[in-house]
Amino acid sequence: MNVAATVGTPFQRAPFLKLLLRKGSTWAALAFIAALVLAAVLAPWVVAHDPLRGGNDALLAPLAAGHWLGTDDLGRDVWARVVFGARISLTIGIASALFAVVVGVVIGALAGYFGGWIDALLMRVAEFFQTLPRFVVALIVIALFGTSVLKMIVVIAAISWPQLARVVRASVATLAQSQFVDAARVAGMGHAAIIAREILPNAAAPIIVLGSLDIAMAILIEASLSFFGLGDANHVSWGAMLNDAQQYLRSAWWMSVFPGLAIALTVLAFNLLGDALNDALNPRGAAR
Amino acid sequence: MTDTRSRLRPSRRQINLGALALATGLAVPRIGGAATGKGTAVLGIDADPPTLNLGTTTDFAAGDVSAKILEGLIWLDPQYNARPSLATAWSVSPDGKTWRFTLRKGVKWHDGRDFSSADVKFSLMEVIGKLHPRAAPVFKTLGLEVDTPDATTVVVKLQKAYAPFLSQMTVFDAPMLPRHLYEGTNIGTNPANQKPVGTGPFKLAEWKRGASIKLVRNDAYWDGDKPFLEAIIFQVIPQAANRVFALQAGEIDELLDFYTPKPEVPRILADKALAPRRSVNIPAIYFMMFNTQSPLMAKKDVRHALAFAIDRPRLVKQAMNGIARPGAGAFGDGFKWLFNDEVAYAKKYPFDPARAKAILEKAGIRGGTTTLRMPFDVSRAQMRAQSQIIQDNLRQVGLEVKLEPLERSVYYDRVFAKRDFDLMLGSYFSAGDPAIGYTRLYNTYTGTSPNTNASGYANPKVDELLTQAATAVDRAVRADLYKQLQLILNEDLPTLVLFDEETVDTASKKLSGMFPALDARDQWAGVKRLD
Amino acid sequence: MTAFILRRLLHAVPLLLAVVVLNFLLIAFTPGDPITLLVGDFPAPPEYLAQMRREYGLDQPLWVQLLRYLGKVAVGDFGFSFANQQPVAALIFDRLGATLELTLTALLFASVVGIAFGVIAARSASARRHGVADSVIQGAASAGYAVPDFWLGQILILVFAIGLGWLPSQGNAPVRGSAPGWAGWVAHLPYLVLPAFALSLRYLTLITRITRAAMLEVMGADYILAARARGASEWTVLVVHALRNAAAPVLAVIGYNVGFVLAGSALIEAVFAWPGIGRLLFESISKRDYPVMLAILLMVSATVVIANLVTDIVHRMIDPRIERA
């Protein structure tokens, strides 16, 4: 995917929205994300049951009375768990992407702006992190140090920032040579101000795109870790639901299908959003 | 959803492979067929055993494989009677301190050397007495010594009488190992641990890590024309659901309860092509241990409240799929002879959340403000379900529980070494007698070893009764002592027994002579294939 | 060119060293004692534990352990796995074949099918603005990329193994042992189908998208027009001219994703009980088998570094226009 920034593409231009919302699929993705966020925030009002409360009504098939998606092996309502699971997925997904963006932008901007040994050093560090196989490292770190929502956010962010940093560095390096930056320097602006006010806003495009894609990746990684039993046991998580479902594949397919579908649709929505943003912000690379 | 496969038609898989074979003109082994020769049984296990030396481990899969290769002095039948294996006769002195065993003559090790009393002495004193996780502490406490007046006689001298001594002479607790291969070596790293030499009906032929272990017939076995099987293959299948699938598809011939995920058991019980053996097992109890040293759990009333709040029948139904019996008392009800019905949990602590709430309020615990920490071993699937049900139950009476699923060694460290918990989930195997496996639940213990009493409960009267019950030889006397113990323990409740495990071991109907022993892993010499 | 290769190689060495040290430190600072896992259910005598600890050098100070480890790695000795009672190198080597088979099959399948679909999509997109084939393929690619591979594995088992009974659900060989030689190899092929497919899907979709994008970039070029004007068939235009020139970014994606395929195999191997490195990793984590964990992490990282290096070189050879990073 071509995410190379075209220098100085602000996205406040009127055509941006038009480009963004060109495809039907983008509409659908945005609508889905909006609905998901709304459902996650308003979760207690959207569901009829406590997601942690079970009972003796276990393994009811979908369309049972009061449980339209059925119940799991401990009698808990599947719909409630899917909705509450969105909270964890979105929280971890967005928080770790945000965290990765912050770290990536800071490091990338410093490297791109100052160049020289700072650049070489920081990019070496980034490359080191990129060499580590993402999922394997996350697996080992969480397995060893124990799990919690915070730990997952930190670990996922730690493996996501390098790609962002490299892209930001490339953008910043190019932008740092442009005329308006020279002008700003001549006018006496400090480095920090130049970076923050002149350069970064123009480099925003790839950051936004990568950020969106990182959310999708983070959600997938969290689901994978929870599937391996490494998620936080005190919260409802889609990946953990799939873990529970493994033992019941043959007797309760609904325990696997609905959370899996939720993951797939959410990841798809964020990916589509990232694609659409890329199309809108990079008219040169836009696919027909 | 039933999917019993017809045994008369070849399965689709076989048809497809057959077609492929025809197409390529090659002979293809039929899956589920007997291409490796008549008389091969395939058993499913969950992982490679860490070692095959049963003198140093109690790992279940290790016992499964090695019980066919090694032997003990006796074996136990389902009625707990000792039957001859490497010992043909035995007697005990009236004071219970001296045991005399007569060994079987003409037994040879797999490498051709003769088996003798010197092997027994070496195994008991140098290996098991020092390194066996279960037996070593016991032997030390008993001051066990072994004399060998001649090559076929063994005299074991104890400093105190020990009621369950004979039942610990099985291959799982006291396997006989070849002295000529182990003496003078570092037992932990001796290569014979991976390529064991035993006296048993089968020998190790091949070990493909992560895939399978193959045993072949010991043609020089001491028992007539046994064994009947030509070979036994242990297939490593790490995913639990896949094991059941393999069993039902005929790819494996036996799956023991230990490897069977509980949700699949009803399906197995309904499958007409399988022959399950239910509820014949050495008792094991699952429990929730309280940390009596933590401020919240120190109060007996609070512990009682939790006993009222936890729905044990629901635990059995949902976490164990009905294959268990709800906790009945401090030692469960697996050993019927010692069960004290008067102070049973059913009478003292019926499921009553309202009452639990009342007790908690009186004890000053306000709803929603108290959080209890509950670590458990994450590798045990039932624990996850149990913990969630308990969390649910306790929330209903206003107690929040923070679940802490931990990797096993972290769990051992946190719970047993540091005692950093409010509640914990665990299970102990009785190993055939409450004196062997359940004493460690209640005796005073201040060390840091795993699988001990981490509750901090220390009651000298209980200690005394436990010791007496372990040394008295008369069962009626012991029963009385255990009943007294239940009187105290069911009231003090340092640990809440959640349920008694029941087992379902399953074999294909094509095998005969299955399950002669109490332990399903034992005594395979008499097994035959019927096809 | 040689200078480039040498420079990249030198570049890689300190990376690998850092990886090893990091891994070692990670594992050293976590709670839990691996020895207690060996003994099973009952409390072990302290002498036994102490003896085992001495065996595996766990009673030495940390830096001593690290130095010893580094020294051994340098000569290819990855230590002894106490959970498996085998030298680690031998253990990994045993399982390597299975993982290589799975991942290479998946990569090959993903590459071939992905490029094919990408070409078809590009052709459809260039022929008419909203070509049907293009939309379908793009949609499917987006959807396929979003599906978690372990869930896909479960669904495949549900449908093809449990439901239809066409394919086996676990392992890589028939349970009763396979015949030697050709027959055995053929018999084990059905076991490869589902796991390889599950593993390949995401990469397939990625490759499809990249191929399509790269092809479209190239399709408007002069030499394409020239070829068409010369009367070359669409097929020739597509494959011989366009694809060849679009190869560079496609190869880059294939090469740079090798590491992710290896990592993804951990999940797939667990779901399908495939006896490879991924499953070994998972088992060694739950057993706290430090030497094995370290060795696998090092191995996967080394593979990624090498794959990146090879891709860099090949990419450079194919497309001298790329700027150095």
Residue carrying structure tokens 């399953």: B506
Residue carrying structure tokens 């690379």: A285
| Alpha carbon distance B117, B114 (integer Å) | 10
Of A58, A249, A250, the CB nearest to B318: A58
* DSSP labels, B476-503: HHHHHHHHHHHHHHHHH-SEEEEEEE--
Please check whether residue C147 touches A, CB under 8 A. Answer: yes
- Chain length of chain A: 288
pLDDT at residue C321, as a whole number = 56
Span B115-135, average pLDDT = 91
Token pair, residue B393, equals 């139950």
Instruction: Return the closest-CA partner of residue B509 out of B286, B248, B287.
Output: B248
Token pair, residue B5, equals 């496969």
Residue B132 half-sphere exposure, CB side, CA atoms within 13 Å? 29
Q: How far is B263 from chain A (nearest CA, A)?
A: 7
Token pair, residue A88, equals 């964890």
Residue B153 clears pLDDT 90, i.e. is over it: yes
Chain C: residue nearest A124 by CA?
A: C15
Query: Is the Cβ pair B403, A143 closer than 8 Å?
Result: no
pLDDT at residue B303, as a whole number = 94
Tens of pLDDT, residues A12-55: 555 777 777 777 888 899 999 999 999 999 988 888 888 888 88
Contacts of B467 (CB under 8 A, 6+ apart): none
Residue B17 clears pLDDT 50, i.e. is over it: no
Query: Is the Cβ pair A251, B317 closer than 8 Å?
Result: no
Residue B129 clears pLDDT 60, i.e. is over it: yes
Query: Is the Cβ pair B241, A247 closer than 8 Å?
Result: yes
Scan residues 48-77 of C and list those with Cβ closer than 8 Å to A: none
Q: Which segments of B256-346 are extended strands (E)?
A: 274-278, 284-290, 324-326
B398 neighbors B357 (Cβ within 8 angstroms): yes
Give the best residue of B310, B399, B404 to mutate against chain A (max A CB count within 10 A): B404
- How many CB atoms sit inside 10 A of residue B516's CB? 16
pLDDT at residue A280, as a whole number = 81
Query: Model confidence at B33, in pLDDT bands (50, 70, 90)?
Result: very low
Chain C: residue nearest B173 by CA?
A: C42
Contacts of A253 in chain C (CB under 8 A): 158
A113 neighbors A176 (Cβ within 8 angstroms): yes
pLDDT at residue A3, as a whole number = 41
B92 neighbors B157 (Cβ within 8 angstroms): no
Q: How far is B5 from chain C (nearest CA, A)?
A: 10
Please check whether residue A58 touches B, CB under 8 A. Answer: yes
C239 neighbors C291 (Cβ within 8 angstroms): no
- How many CB atoms sit inside 10 A of residue B418's CB? 12
| Alpha carbon distance B401, A262 (integer Å) | 28
| Alpha carbon distance B231, C293 (integer Å) | 34
Contacts of B383 (CB under 8 A, 6+ apart): B376, B377, B405, B425
Paired strand residues for B275? B507
Residue carrying structure tokens 């020092």: B130
Contacts of A264 in chain C (CB under 8 A): 143, 146-148, 151
Mean predicted lDDT score pLDDT of chain B: 86
CB crowding A99-130: b at 16 or more within 10 Å, else e = bbbebbbebbbbbbbbeeeebeebbeebbbbb
Least confident of A171-180, B119-128, B228-237, B393-402: A171-180
Cβ contacts of B156-161, under 8 Å, gap ≥ 24: B156/B98, B156/B99, B156/B100, B156/B101, B156/B124, B157/B97, B157/B98, B158/B96, B158/B97, B158/B98, B158/B99, B159/B97, B160/B97, B160/B471, B161/B95, B161/B96, B161/B97, B161/B471, B161/B472, B161/B473
| Alpha carbon distance B344, B336 (integer Å) | 13
- As separate numbers, helices (DSSP H) first and strands (DSSP E) second, chain C gives 13, 2
pLDDT at residue B41, as a whole number = 93
Domain ranges of chain A: 16-40+80-286
* DSSP labels, C180-203: SHHHHHHHHHHHHHHHHHHHHHHH
Token pair, residue C135, equals 């939309």
Contacts of C144 in chain A (CB under 8 A): none
pLDDT at residue C91, as a whole number = 82
Instruction: Return the closest-CA partner of residue B285 out of B330, B317, B318, B255.
Output: B330
Token pair, residue B314, equals 């629901």
Of B20, B238, B413, the CB nearest to C33: B413
Q: Which amino acid is located at B352 in the chain?
A: D
| Alpha carbon distance B284, B429 (integer Å) | 4
Span B291-297, average pLDDT = 91
- How many CB atoms sit inside 10 A of residue C105's CB? 18
Instruction: Return the closest-CA partner of residue A141 out of A154, A130, A160.
Output: A154
Chain C: residue nearest A215 by CA?
A: C146
Query: Is the Cβ pair C39, B409 closer than 8 Å?
Result: no
pLDDT at residue C106, as a whole number = 92
| Alpha carbon distance A76, A82 (integer Å) | 11
Scan residues 412-451 of B and list those with Cβ closer than 8 Å to C: 412-414, 428-429, 431, 437, 440, 449-451
Contacts of B432 (CB under 8 A, 6+ apart): B76, B80, B164, B167, B168, B170, B282, B518
Q: 3-state DSSP call for residue B284? A: strand
Please check whether residue C135 touches A, CB under 8 A. Answer: no
10-residue mean pLDDT series, chain C (325 residues): 78 77 71 56 62 68 77 74 72 85 90 88 76 84 87 87 79 61 78 91 88 79 73 72 73 77 82 82 71 79 79 73 48
pLDDT at residue B34, as a whole number = 33
* DSSP labels, B396-408: HTTEEEEEEEE-H
Chain B: residue nearest C32 by CA?
A: B410
Residue A239 clears pLDDT 70, i.e. is over it: yes
Residue B422 clears pLDDT 50, i.e. is over it: yes
Query: Model confidence at A2, in pLDDT bands (50, 70, 90)?
Result: very low
Residue B274 half-sphere exposure, CB side, CA atoms within 13 Å? 30
Instruction: Tell me which of A229 and B180 has the higher pLDDT.
Output: B180
Instruction: Return the closest-CA partner of residue B448 out of B413, B475, B420.
Output: B413
pLDDT at residue C27, as a whole number = 63
Span A73-86, average pLDDT = 92
* DSSP labels, A88-141: HHHHHHHHHHHHHHHHHHHHHHHHHHH-HHHHHHHHHHHHHHHHS-HHHHHHHH
Helices C244-256/C181-219 angle, 10° precision: 120
Instruction: Tell me which of B25 and C45 has the higher pLDDT.
Output: C45
B53 neighbors B63 (Cβ within 8 angstroms): no
pLDDT at residue A139, as a whole number = 80
Contacts of A186 (CB under 8 A, 6+ apart): none
A43 neighbors A81 (Cβ within 8 angstroms): no
- Per CATH, the number for A16-40+80-286 is 1.10.3720.10
| Alpha carbon distance B486, B339 (integer Å) | 8
Cα-based distances in Å from A119 to A173, B277, C4, C324: 10, 69, 20, 14
Span B471-498, average pLDDT = 92
Chain A: residue nearest C209 by CA?
A: A1
Instruction: Tell me which of A151 and C185 has the higher pLDDT.
Output: A151
pLDDT at residue B368, as a whole number = 66
ipTM: 0.78
B451 neighbors B427 (Cβ within 8 angstroms): no
| Alpha carbon distance B198, B215 (integer Å) | 12
| Alpha carbon distance C71, C84 (integer Å) | 22
Residue B32 clears pLDDT 80, i.e. is over it: no
A195 neighbors A113 (Cβ within 8 angstroms): yes
Contacts of A251 in chain B (CB under 8 A): 1, 263, 267
Tens of pLDDT, residues B88-103: 999 988 888 999 999 9
Q: 3-state DSSP call for residue C172? A: coil
pLDDT at residue A119, as a whole number = 87
- How many CB atoms sit inside 10 A of residue B529's CB? 18
pLDDT at residue B145, as a whole number = 92
Paired strand residues for B41? B232
- How many CB atoms sit inside 10 A of residue B239's CB? 22
